[in-house]
Chains A and B, each alone.
With several copies, the nearest count.
Chain A
Amino acid sequence: MIEVILLVSSVLFIFALKLFGRPSTAHRANTFAMLAMALAVFSAFNFDFSNYDPAFYITIVVSGLLGVLISKRVQMTQMPELVGLFNGFGGGASGAIAYVELSKSTLPLSDYFVAIFSMVIGVFTFSGSIIAVLKLRGKLNNVNTTIANIFSAFLPPLILLPAIWEEMEILSLEYFMLLSLIAGIIRVAVIGGADMPVVIAFLNSLSGIAAMSAGFIVNSIILIVAGALVGASGIILTLLMCAAMNRTLLDVLKGGFGGAAINNEYDKDPISTSPEDVAIQLSYAESVVIVPGYGMAVAQAQAAVKELTNTLKDKNIEVKFAIHPVAGRMPGHMNVLLAEVDIDYEDMYTLEDINSEFSSTDVVIVLGANDVVNPLARTDENSPIYGMPILDVDLAKQVIVIKRSMSPGYAGIANPLFINDNAKMLFADAKEGLENIIKSFELV
């Protein structure tokens, strides 16, 4: 009976993933996955709920309620942090379970190694995720990569220590746990803040692998199936993001990217503009493309975007959204924020779909985006973002950039788009800037 339930649960997980493939079926996918999870959890009790004491049930209920509470409270712009945090919890749980299993002396040798693996990966995921969240919140600056290099160099002897120094043997489990904890902290600490999405997706993949290996230890197929699905999902997102930045995963994990202010000067002053001018320009346009970036998330400007879109559409102006795969701070970040304010996903275009259209676009509004529209990626071989596929907004007839200053984006490099002949800067917070434009429309 239990086996049948687990079979159904595995099948449901897979169909859930399949349904995730289209916006119209994705919300059903979540229901399927929840059902699959509920069945799997239920089956673990093996119809005997009396084996469990109150402490157990209280823990489940309290943490469950806490989970609901947090998830209802969080704002859409904080999604990256939240995913990172939950992810750390998942990894931590797997690590803890592996530790407990290892403490039992009955484990067969083959399982022993799997358990060590699971513990190391789980704990690494835990500490790494916490650091990633802190970085996303801006609570931590980049750490110099030399620390990480030194740590890596010393890792082999550190790992072998318990084998040599007998007194340590009894504590070797705890020692390995500590090492993994430190490794997670150091590894993530040296990576720049805007690379955190890659880190989180990668850690997500690791947490799946940790769950999978926990499945090998406790001999549960459902953990293996579900863990494998998560592992695959995480690694694909990781690689997609890396490809979108034309960097390798290794390169990202090595850290030290971004933050450094190189070649940050402009040999020309940008043309700045006013909300009124922008409004006038927009009302003469036939086609407008909006390119949102991290700044839109920071300013929480999505509602203003929707309002502007409505205003333009009322004037029969075509409005499209061009979304770079790594715009913002997590994959699909912009899509979610725009969906939050009811912008149709049919209007959101990917890089491949829209790049050929810019040359026939009247006005492009770059809203708090920077690196993803930096033409140096096409032209300057020495630039750190060289080769990254970008949105070719500089080919449009007119570009309006809304950001607060001339300061660079995450990659820390100047953006010659800003001093292009067809570009004008509207120096403002994304939300305020848009609201002023909308107000000006009423006056036009």
Chain B
Amino acid sequence: MEATFLLTLLITFLASFIGYELISKIPQTLHTPLMSGSNAISGITLIAAILIYPEVGESQILKIIVLIAIAFATLNIVGGFSVTGRILEMFKKND
């Protein structure tokens, strides 16, 4: 999606605002899974890595750096969601 800079700013504001409102309401009990879950989401940067990977061109060094970014981000996403799932499983048993 392409957008003008200010529209992007508006979206940034709206999303941050929603984040603020929603997270303020999450009870303390869930703060650990929230932390690990939102941590997993920060791996979203993987998308940027995928987008730029085909464009790095010849440079092997840059390519390796992007691959490192991909490895890091994937670890963050997969590990993060998996561990969050494990934690939440414990809360589910209580229902």
A interface with B by C-beta (< 8 Å): 3-4, 6-7, 10-11, 13-14, 16-18, 20-24, 26-27, 29-30, 33-34, 37, 40-41, 43-45, 51-52, 55-56, 59-60, 62-64, 66-68, 70-72, 74, 76, 79, 82-83, 86-87, 89-94, 96-97, 99-101, 103-104, 110, 200-201, 204, 207-208, 210-212, 214-234, 236-237, 240, 323, 325, 330-333, 335-336, 339-340, 342-345, 348, 350
Contact = CB atoms under 8 A, between A and B. Distances in A.
B67 A59 contact: yes
Nearest to B90: A339
Given A20-B33, A23-B91, A64-B74, 10 more contacts: A14-B15, A33-B37, A51-B54, A56-B53, A59-B67, A67-B77, A82-B83, A233-B19, A335-B31, A350-B27
Contacts of B22: 14, 17-18, 20-21
A89 B28 contact: no
Interface string B54-95: 111001001101111111111111111111111111111111
Given A82-B83, A220-B47, A208 B42 contact: yes
A93 B80 CA distance: 15
Given A27-B85, A101-B52, A232-B20, A13 B41 contact: yes
A72 to B, nearest CB: 7
Best-buried of A10, A24, A96, A225 by chain B (most CB within 10 Å): A96
B45 to A, nearest CB: 4
B63 to A, nearest CB: 8
Contact of B8 (A24, A97, A224, A323): A224
A324 to B, nearest CB: 9
Contact of B78 (A23, A24, A67, A219): A67
Given A3-B4, A221-B11, A336-B33, A236 B39 contact: no
A90 B79 CA distance: 11
B27, B41, B63, B70: residue with the most chain A Cβ atoms closer than 10 Å = B41
A334 to B, nearest CB: 9
Contacts of A22: 27
Given A90-B76, A97-B52, A100-B66, A236 B20 contact: yes
Contact of B32 (A40, A218, A330): A330
A220 B51 contact: yes
Interface of B: 1-20, 22-56, 59, 62-63, 65-95
A101 B18 CA distance: 30
A7 B9 contact: yes
Contacts, number: 356
Contacts of A26: 30, 33, 88, 91
B72 A96 contact: yes
A340 to B, nearest CB: 5
Contacts of B56: 100
A227 B71 CA distance: 19
Contacts of B15: 10, 14, 224-225, 228-229
A79 B83 contact: yes
A23 B29 CA distance: 8
7 contacts: A6-B6, A17-B19, A67-B78, A96-B65, A104-B55, A221-B3, A325-B28
A224 B79 contact: no
B48 A215 contact: yes
A97 B70 CA distance: 9
A332 B35 contact: yes
Contact of B74 (A67, A74, A87, A204): A67
- Nearest first, the 10 A-B pairs at minimum CB distance are A232-B19, A332-B31, A67-B79, A67-B78, A331-B31, A228-B15, A96-B69, A332-B32, A71-B82, A93-B73
Contact of B12 (A16, A212, A336, A343): A212
A266 B22 CA distance: 46
B38 A229 contact: yes
B42 A63 contact: no
B29 A233 contact: no
A44 B47 CA distance: 6
Contact of B44 (A70, A92, A227): A227
B18 A229 contact: yes
A93 B70 contact: yes
Contacts of A16: 37
B44 A226 contact: yes
Contacts of A74: 83
A89 B45 CA distance: 11
Contacts of A236: 20, 23-24
B73 to A, nearest CB: 4
A85 B66 CA distance: 19
